[in-house]
Amino acid sequence: MTYDDHPIDAAQPMTDEQKFLFDLKGWLLLPGVLAEDDVTAIREHVYALRDDRDSLDPNDRYSLSGPAQVLVDHPAIVTVLRGVLGGDRHDGCYGFRCENSFPMVRSEGQVGLEPHGGGLGVGVHKYSCQNGSIYSGLTRVAWELNPVRHGEGGTLVMSGSHKMNFPIPDSHLGFDSPLFETYECPPGSAILFSESVNHAGPIWKTKDHPRVAVFNCYSNADAQYHKLCLPREVIEAMPPKRRTLFRGVWHHDFYRGAPNDYFSEENVAL
Ligand SMILES: O=C(O)CCC(=O)C(=O)O
């Protein structure tokens, strides 16, 4: 099976409203952007990764491959990633990189990570906005593959905390802080947030269905936070432009007089 590059023209620029909201809150919800067939196929893939990984083609044993590969540079999120991490180097090369992914099946009563992040926590990847230009050096995209009802366990986000200048007071360190916001959405929605924003994985509260999600992380092309941990063969099976999301981390080779705008056997992120 092949998973072609998305058509180049499919991604529109980030709207002024999206820029305003992302800068104000540190996160953005894109409801229902995946086709139903993709939602079904990716949800089944997440279950297969958990229950029957060995039955999958070796290249498909990851949340960045198989049917989930279309998430990596889905036009709806590319729109935002270009706006918060950087535009394409050219038509064949993204201006940002993808460096981490994990699948999730969270059943009733299961809880995720405690509240973490906020302000300067991710070092050189920290959030900033200058002269109308957003820089969210480490940006997470959570793809929800089952419905999420308000307050039933979607990611909690402390809106505005990506720009905080003082430590979070003890009274707001827990899951129960009233400063946390969350969302509701249909299957096939994407939540994009700056890893600079304080966020948490609260307890999943419904037995109607588990939380099934894929979490992908993107960084500035010239800096790396996560170790990649994806075999080169998996990347080589991707279409050409998608491969550039996994290229090595450097900007320009002055020895050869060449920019870093390609993926190759020698130019893979560590
Ligand atoms: O489980 C969640 O909803 C949040 C995941 C999380 O905390 C993270 O990606 O850093």
Number of domains the chain contains: 1
Q: Rounded to the nearest 5 degrees, what angle is found at the Cα of 27, between the Cα atoms of 24 and 33?
A: 130
Amino acid at 63: S
Measured from the CB, is residue 242 less than 6 Å from ligand 1?
Answer: no
Give domain status of residue 60, yes or no: yes
Give domain status of residue 227, yes or no: no
Give domain status of residue 84, yes or no: yes
Q: Across the strands, what pairs with 189?
A: 144
Q: Which atom of ligand 1 is nearest to the CA of 112?
A: 1
Q: Across the strands, what pairs with 268?
A: 247
pTM: 0.95
Measured from the CB, is residue 126 less than 6 Å from ligand 1?
Answer: no
Measured from the CB, is residue 211 less than 6 Å from ligand 1?
Answer: no
Interval between CA 140 and ligand 1 midpoint (Å) = 9
Amino acid at 125: H
Identify how many contiguous H helices and E strands the chain contains and give both numbers: 6, 11
Give which of 149, 155, 142, 151 is closest to 199, Cα–Cα. Answer: 155
68-93: b (≥16 Cβ within 10 Å) or e:
bbbbbbbebbbbbbbbbbbebbeeeb
Domain encompassing residue 84? 8-221
Measured from the CB, is residue 118 less than 6 Å from ligand 1?
Answer: no
Measured from the CB, is residue 115 less than 6 Å from ligand 1?
Answer: no
Q: Which residues contact 19 (CB under 8 A, 6 or more apart)?
A: 83, 134
Give domain status of residue 231, yes or no: no
**Domain CATH code at residue 102:** 2.60.120.620
Measured from the CB, is residue 112 less than 6 Å from ligand 1?
Answer: yes
Q: How far is CA 161 from CA 20, 29, 136, 170, 211, in A?
A: 15, 17, 13, 15, 25
Q: Which residues contact 113 (CB under 8 A, 6 or more apart)?
A: 200, 201
Give domain status of residue 167, yes or no: yes
Give domain status of residue 187, yes or no: yes
Q: How far is CA 72 from CA 46, 69, 94, 152, in A?
A: 15, 6, 12, 26
Helix, strand, coil shares of the chain as percentages rounded to 5?
25, 25, 50
Interval between CA 121 and ligand 1 midpoint (Å) = 15
pLDDT at site 9:
46
Question: Rounded CA gap, 270 and 264, in Å?
Answer: 13
Would you say 83 and 13 are in contact if contact means Cβ atoms under 8 Å apart?
yes
Integer Rg of the chain from CA: 18
Q: Which atom of ligand 1 is nearest to the CA of 106?
A: 1
Give domain status of residue 178, yes or no: yes
Q: Which atom of ligand 1 is nearest to the CA of 116?
A: 7
Give which of 143, 144, 149 is closest to 208, Cα–Cα. Answer: 149
Measured from the CB, is residue 196 less than 6 Å from ligand 1?
Answer: no
Tens of pLDDT, residue by residue, the chain (270 residues): 556 666 544 567 899 999 999 999 999 999 999 999 999 999 999 999 999 999 999 999 999 999 999 999 999 999 999 999 999 999 999 999 999 999 999 999 999 999 999 999 899 999 999 999 999 999 999 999 999 999 999 999 999 999 999 999 999 999 999 999 999 999 999 999 999 999 999 999 999 999 999 999 999 999 999 999 899 999 999 999 999 999 999 999 999 999 999 999 999 999
Q: How buried is 171 (Cβ within 10 angstroms: 0-12 exposed, 13-18 middle, 19+ buried)?
A: exposed
Give domain status of residue 233, yes or no: no
Interval between CA 196 and ligand 1 midpoint (Å) = 12
pLDDT at site 1:
56
Question: For ligand 1, atom 7, which residue shows the shortest CA distance?
Answer: 200
pLDDT at site 12:
79
